[in-house]
Amino acid sequence: MFNRRNQEEVEKVETKVWVCTSDDCNCWVRDNFKSSEVPACPICESKMEQTTRVIEILHNPSSAM
């Protein structure tokens, strides 16, 4: 009933992300989901800086990249 052996392992990959620079905010956005070339934080409007994280693969069908 609670068997987890049949679940697929989620593939993770190093991904470019944008991270909010505000100490009070922990928002981040995947690079392929950003709204502008250098995005502002969608939560607090602070500057964001580019970095990488190892996260699950997620494709953006509306992305032109």
Domain spans of the chain, in order of start:
12-55
Please give the model's pTM, rounded to 2 decimal places.
Answer: 0.76
pLDDT at 17: 97
The span from the CA of 17 to the CA of 58, in Å, is 12
Question: CA 55, 13, 4: angle at the middle one, nearest 5?
Answer: 70
Any idea what DSSP says for residue 47?
B
- List all residues 6 or more positions away from 53 whose beta carbon is below 8 Å from its beta carbon: 14, 15, 17, 28
pLDDT tens over the chain, length 65 residues: 566 666 677 889 999 999 999 999 999 999 999 989 999 999 999 999 999 999 998 877 776 54
pLDDT at 43: 97
pLDDT at 2: 66
Proportion of the chain in helix, strand, coil states, percent, rounded to 5: 5, 35, 60
